[in-house]
Amino acid sequence: VWAQSDKVSPQQTAEVTAKKLEAAGYTVLTIDGHNPSAISDAFSQHAQAQHDPAANPIAIVAKTVKGWGSPSQQGSGHHGKPAEKDELTQALQELDATR
In this prediction, residue 1 carries a pLDDT of 52
> What pLDDT is recorded for position 81?
77
What's residue 7's pLDDT? 66
Taking the chain (99 residues) in runs of 10, the rounded mean pLDDT of each run is: 60 90 97 97 95 95 89 77 88 90
Residues in the chain, how many? Answer: 99
Radius of gyration of the chain (CA): 17
* pLDDT number for residue 54: 94
Which has the closest alpha carbon to 8: 75, 81, 80, 72? Answer: 75
